[in-house]
Structure 1
Amino acid sequence: MATLLASLAAFALAAAPAGSAASGAAPDRAKIPDKYKWKLTDLFPSDAAWAAAKEALAKDLPGFARHQGHLGDSPKALADALDDMAALQLRLERIFVYASARTDEDTRQPGPRAMRAEAERLAVQLDAATSWVRPGILALPAERIRGAIAAEPRLGAWDFYLEDVIRWKPHTLSAPEERIVAMTGDLSGAGRSVDTVLMNADLPYPTVTLSTGEKVRLDQAGYQRARTAPRRADREKVFQAFFGALKGYERTVGTALYAQVKAHLFEKDVHRFGSSLESALFTDEIPVEVYRRLVADVNANLPTLHRYLALRKHMLGLKQLGYEDLYTPLVKEVDRRYTMDQAIAMTLAAVAPLGAPYQAQLAKGFETGWTDFLPAQGKQAGAYSTGVYGVHPYQLLNFNGQWDDVSTLAHEAGHSMHTVLSYEHQPYSKSAYATFVAEVASTLNENLLFRKALADAKTDPERLALLGQHLETLRTTLFRQTMFAEFELAYHEAAERGEALTGEKLSEMYLAIVRRYYGHDQGVCNVAALYGDEWSYILHFFNYRFYVYQYATSLVASTSLAKAIREDEAHGRTDARDRYLALLESGGSAYPVDLLRKAGVDMTTSAPFAAAMEEMNGTMDEIEAILARQQGGRAAPARERKR
């Protein structure tokens, strides 16, 4: 079962890595205005205060043992133990989030890295100190537990937790055994730690000079920006240099990932699951068939992806589309750049359909230290949102001024508002929502941003740019993330068969999958062999376990919800919006599939995915209509390829 350390590691809800500085190297953090930095003093006034809190928690942990053996004494005794456990966990949350945020501000600094390591060790110690609770509860008859819930009002906050513990009974060990398992938590993140330091601090990323004369250091954030270069020669140079750098560390990164997989195999075996996939999905009661059906549905709809790739080739005027051509804007005439303040204003305007209170609360958050907006030297790449119950959310961004960065801001704002509404309406014991539903909140905000911008567009080039970006969202979320999910499943199943995972083997496996998705053998998109190393910089493989598929399922769900909200708004109704906000307010009070069904989307059926494919094809229809109008009524070649 998931340890508290694993839960904290997954608490940062990640988006795709964001960009670097707008011109070459990122600035020193000290030069960034304070209004663009998060406010960690809301957690602790100083590192010294953090250290004191850490030591105090470590000192208090042994005292929790006073509850052991007494859970069945009375309903009050059970409530006392659970409330004390929650208090310890909340203290750890503050300590862990602060240390993680300080580390992410500059991953080169040894002091914050040591703080995070100390927080991780403390999490392992708390896991060990409380590891007997679930076995202790399971030692009681189920009806006795339910009777205690009815008799003790404080246990009302724990009813979902207690029912979930009962569900876990076949996969729960004895108290001494669970303590031993919890103590292994300090080892389970070794591969992740190695990869984090290598990718963010030690790997010698190359610097390339673009045709414009601009020099770009191709770290992960720099690559994310430079791969959008308008000139194909620049894109090829960027891809060759970046993936060439990754290739040089293929064996090291492969060893790190294999270490993470071994930890997953241990979790599967020790808690008696049939597979690593089942082990990962069981926590949120997601049927394994949901994951496998997504992979099957996406593979069945690869012709839709190939239609888009043909359209992209046509719009870029290329004779042959290459993997290097997937990120450059489709409409070269529209160079959309945004300041940080413009992006904030756009995001706030986009979420208007969710109501004035939602807007106002998000605006206040942007002004009061929720977010670390801008890239800086040594800063953790990418974007995420996390939070501490009773405080507020924390967002990390690397805003670069592109449309994708505005979309990332809206994405993380969705996570943060989910956190706020859950905290306001749920007790701590029910405040942590599942990732499966978390990504609905983020991608719904992205959808609202796109629709608002599309409605405001005044020209066909603007509309083409936005529609093209929307297609890219669908490609990267529905197809690319599912491609990652299929790869993740493949290497876990290989390890379960007893096959060793080397960097070379992982690259071979990945290349075969990416070439199939992008139609390499059919001439749809050429994928060079070097790009088989792309897996090695996807942080989700190291930081999470079977996470990425939820980007696809969530986009499917949020597309449906956003459409219902817009349709209601057009008719002066708020039913769909109210159901959606109730979903956010529900936090972790029920399983995610049930919460989504109540909000109006049944993820146990294939209907939502089919609707997403309709939207993707409809978007291409609209683009092709604009192109035909511009070309005097001639249809685009992409339409011919579709037939």
Structure 2
Amino acid sequence: MKTHFKRTAISLICTGLLALSGGTLLQAQESQSGINEQYTWDLTDFYPSKEAWEAELARLRSEVDSIAAYKGKLGDNASTLLAALDAGSAYRKELLRVWTYASNIRNTNLGDPNGQDMVGRLQSLAQAAGAASSYMAPELVALGAERIEAFIAEEPSLRKHALFLRDTLRQGKHVLSPETEQVLSLMGTALSASQGARDMLANAEIEWPRITLSDGQEVHLTNAGYSLHRADPDREDRIAVFDAFWARYKDFESTFGVTLNGEVQGNVAMAKARKYDNTLQYFLSGDNIPEEVYRTLVKVTNDRIGVLHRYFELRARMLDIDDLGYHDIYPNLVETDLTFPIDETREHMLASVRLLGEEFSDKFARASADRWMHVYPQPGKRSGAYMSGSAYDVHPLILLNHQDTYGSASTYAHEWGHAMHQVLTNENQPFELANFSIFTTEIAAIAKEILLQEHMLEQAQSDDERLFYLGYALEQMRGTYFRQVMFSEFELAIHEEVEKGRALTGARMTEIYGEILKRYHGHDEGVMQITEREMIEWAYIPHFYYNFYVYQYATSIAGAAYFVDQMKLGGDDAVDVYLDFLKAGGSDYPVEILKGAGLDMASPDPYNAVIDRMEVVMDEIEAILDKRK
């Protein structure tokens, strides 16, 4: 996220919306794509037409100055404070709805100027709204805790705003003068330019290579094409894919370096302007996450890096490879002819979530049968997958690039985990408390992946099929835990590089990333050879523009494993605890919500637990392999 004061409602709407641009989705011209419309989303629930969207945008533009109507009046009395906050919430809610529509139209065809224009106009309006509301945080801080608490006690309707009010006071020393806050709010669009340039370069403008595989098939190595063919069972094909794909990124090393350096420079400047000790503290402050969580995560992972090296040695054994390379990470450990078409994937997930009870299962069944998803790749579409849940009064949207693989099925479960978290939150929390943290919603998403994984293991028909799912479980723990901690180390390192006043070029980022890559993959221990070719991988990762975001994947797989284990052992009571966690939404700080469910994320225990789980899976795989000797 680009903003920290995540609960400052309209006062930071500009930066909040810009952050959402990396995680939203929508419609392009499906009629031109040749895809069955059942597998595209229907946006008429948001606006019946583009003209209706234009009319709502015009209305919001005409009312933007009204956001400042309560300037200087927040301390008049409790009813005035309530009116100001309610007005801000109402405006923000509708602005998020028009933003969701526009940004998702853009994201299904990044090269379409219509979508670019819609988003550009929204960014301009959001910036104006942010400037108009920038008075709020300084004025609230000036009122002080005693007066605000008195207002909350006097006016019951202020309770839905209480977390925001108290959070603003908590961060009071980092709130600047009204004039400075206004200046910073006007910088929102400028600070998003680096991410926008990177996304346009990587997804729309680079001429991606085409290569011919050993079977004669010509493949186009776009980002989506690479994701598919990096797992090719033929090793020489994988090597060819890696050589061609990473060489193209290397061609643009300096340009990607400029864009990421711009992101980091802006982050460091904002942290200094707001008087934080460092950039990490700045980005953790919005959710009130102690630095100890981040640093404990990294320390435990490095202390037990040998478990990851054991996994790579097991992978080499299963693939019968003596010289394991980075191009050997992605192929399935066991070959399978299983496929996972989207409709069958849905049926598997329906079976996997029955543990959560009839009410939850029915909600998922109804939602997943509706047109909330854009399922398949198409030219210009944003790569990857994500859930967009910002339109509180409508429903979530899910963007996929489904390939009929088990990885795609797992991604389906992940994004529906986010969507169902949003559904339960919106049913149980007001708009003001529906903005849950990535820190908690990634737990909700990964828990669904684990439930799907365990369902598939339960119905496996052979040792080979069981090995396939166990191997995927290992790769999930490598990719979602160890890989994300590796990314987190890199992200911290490049920010600290700038904090120390050092130059941050593309070449320097490649050097830093390469050093970390070698340590995690046991290069010096002879576990895996890391070459200069893949050290450019940092340029491929869009999450580095989401600013201290990826560590939450690692914390989340630990939390997800905890909840799944509890539900399997604890029955209905444990299921109720988990569902209450989903329903809590953003009603408290994420660390506190998890403590209420029995998880202390600042301790080593959850991270050791997920690493222990990885060892148990490897023990089971090795037992099957040893039985075959």
Same fold by TM (over 0.5)?
yes
Show the counterpart of 1:30: 33
Residue in structure 1 matched with residue 123 of structure 2 by the alignment = 120
Separation in 2, partners of 1:43, 1:401: 29
Q: Which amino acid in structure 2 is aligned with residue 199 of structure 1? A: A
* 1:474 maps to amino acid: M
Instruction: State the match for 1:356 in structure 2.
Output: 358
2:464 equivalent among 452, 461, 464? 461
Question: 1:49-448 alignment to 2 at 5 Å?
Answer: 49-332=52-335, 334-387=336-389, 388-448=391-451
Q: Deviations over 1:129-162 (max 9, x none)?
A: 1111111111213111111111112101111111
* Paired residue type of 1:592: P
**Quick check: 2:144–2:169 contact (8 Å CA) kept in 1?**
no
Q: Match for residue 537 of structure 1?
A: 540
Q: Classify 1:550/1:12 alpha carbon distance in 2 versus 1 (closer, same or farther; 3 Å).
A: farther
Residue deviations 1:418-443 (CA, integer Å, cap 9, x gap): 11111111111111001111100000
2 CA distance for matches of 1:268 and 1:301?
32
Distance of 2:433 and 2:523 partners within structure 1: 47
2:558 matched residue in structure 1: 556
Equivalent residues in 2 for 1:8-19 (5 A)? 8-11=17-20
- Cα distance change of structure 1 residues 605 and 279 upon mapping to structure 2, 3 Å threshold: same
For the residue of structure 2 that corresponds to 1:574, the secondary structure is helix
Q: Where does residue 21 of structure 1 map in the other structure?
A: none
Q: 1:394 to 1:259 in 2, by over 3 A?
A: same
CA deviation map 1:161-198 (0-9, x unaligned): 11111101110012121111101111001100111110
2:13 aligned with 1:4, yes or no? Answer: yes
Distance 1:179 1:6 in 2: 12
The 8 Å contact of residues 13 and 415 in structure 1, kept in 2 or not, is answered as no
1:213 partner letter = G
Question: Which residue pairs with 2:620 in the alignment?
Answer: 622
The residue that corresponds to 1:43 in the other structure is 46
* TM-score (normalised: structure 2): 0.96
Aligned to 2:9: none
Q: Secondary structure at the match of 2:382?
A: coil
Q: Is the 8 A contact 1:13 1:385 kept in 2?
A: no
Query: Residues 467, 13 of structure 1: CA spacing in aligned structure 2 closer, same or farther, 3 A cutoff?
Result: farther
Instruction: Give, in angstroms, the shift of residue 14 of structure 1.
Output: 5.7
Look up the equivalent residue of 1:129 and give its one-letter code: A
Q: CA deviation at 1:554?
A: 0.5
- How far off is 1:5 after superposition? 3.2
1:10 offset after TM fit, Å?
A: 4.1
Letter in 2 for 1:105: T
Counterpart of 2:8 in structure 1 is none
**Contact 2:296 / 2:603 at 8 angstroms: preserved in 1?**
no
Match of 1:24 in 2: none
> What fraction of aligned residue pairs are identical, expressed as a percent?
39
Secondary structure at 1:44's aligned position in 2?
coil
Structure 1 residues 12 and 441: CA distance shift in structure 2, 3 A: farther
Gaps of 5+ in 2: 6-11
- Counterparts of 1:199 and 1:40 in 2: how far apart (Å)? 27
1:375 to partner: Cα distance: 1.0
Check conservation: 1:29, 1:377, Cα contact below 8 A.
Answer: no
Aligned partner letter, 1:582 = D
| Secondary structure of residue in 1 paired with 2:587 | coil
SS of the residue corresponding to residue 395 of structure 1 reads strand
Looking at structure 2, the residues matched to 373 and 550 of structure 1 have their Cα atoms a distance apart, in angstroms, of: 25
The answer on 1:579 being equivalent to 2:582 is no
Query: 1:35 Cα shift?
Result: 1.0
- Equivalent residue for 1:565? 567
1:589 corresponds in structure 2 to: 587
Alignment match, 2:604 = 606
| Aligned partners of 1:561 and 1:601 also within 8 Å | no
Shift of 1:8: 3.0
Q: Tell me if structure 2 keeps the 8 A contact 1:29–1:376.
A: no
Higher alpha-carbon deviation: 458-467 or 292-301: 292-301
Displacement after TM superposition at 1:87 (Å): 0.8
What is the deviation of 1:351? Answer: 1.1
**Letter in structure 2 aligned against 1:209:** T
Residue 300 of structure 1: how far off its partner (Å):
1.0
Change (3 A) 1:616 1:29: farther
CA distance in 2 between partners of 1:342 and 1:507 (Å): 41
User: What is the distance in 2 between the residues matched to 1:205 and 1:355?
Assistant: 46
The answer to whether the 8 Å contact 1:375/1:399 transfers is: yes
CA distance in 2, matches of 1:275, 1:498: 13
Distance change >3 Å, CA 415–CA 301, structure 1 → 2: same
Quote the Cα distance in structure 2 between the aligned partners of 1:455 and 1:165: 48
Find the residue that maps to 1:310 and give its secondary structure. helix
CA distance in 2, matches of 1:220, 1:28: 24
What's the C-alpha RMSD, in Å, of the aligned pairs? Answer: 1.5
Contact 2:78 2:152 (8 Å CA) reproduced? yes
- What do the CA deviations read for 1:522-556 (whole angstroms, capped 9, x no partner)? 110111111111000101012x0100000000101
CA distance in 2, matches of 1:63, 1:159: 23
Q: Structure 1: which amino acid aligns with 2:134? A: S
Distance 1:12 1:552 in 2: 23
Quote how far apart the aligned CAs of 1:44 are: 1.4
For residues 350 and 10 of structure 1, the distance between their equivalents in structure 2, rounded to whole angstroms, comes to: 32
Q: Secondary structure at the match of 2:219?
A: strand
**CA distance in structure 2 between the aligned counterparts of 1:434 and 1:76, rounded to whole angstroms:** 29
- Runs of at least 4 residues off by over 6 Å: none
In the TM superposition, residue 7 of structure 1 has moved relative to its aligned partner by: 2.6
Code of the aligned partner of 1:113:
Q
Shift of 1:377: 1.3
CA drift of 1:597 comes to 1.1
- Post-superposition CA distance 1:321-364 (Å, at most 9, x none): 000000001012x2221111001111111111111111111121
Distance in 2 separating the partners of 1:411 and 1:426? 22
Separation (CA, whole Å) in 1 of partners of 2:436 and 2:181? 24
Structure-2 change in CA distance of 1:242 and 1:28 (3 Å): farther
TM-score by length of structure 1 reads: 0.94
**Conserved in 1, the CA contact under 8 Å of 2:296 and 2:602?**
no
Supply the distance in 2 between the matched residues of 1:65 and 1:613 (Cα, whole angstroms).
51
Q: 1:327 to 1:95 in 2, by over 3 A?
A: same
- Write the deviation string for residues 475-524 of structure 1: whole angstroms up to 9, x where unpaired: 01111111000000000000111112111111111111101110112110
Task: Tell me if the contact between 1:13 and 1:386 (Cα under 8 Å) persists in the aligned partners.
Answer: no
**Could you tell me how far 1:126 is from its partner in structure 2?**
1.1
Structure 1 position 9, deviation (Å)? 4.2
Report deviation, 1:64: 2.1
CA contact (8 A) 2:14 2:127 kept: yes
**1:609-631: CA deviation from partner (whole Å, max 9, x where unpaired):** 11111110000000000001111
Letter in 1 for 2:388: T
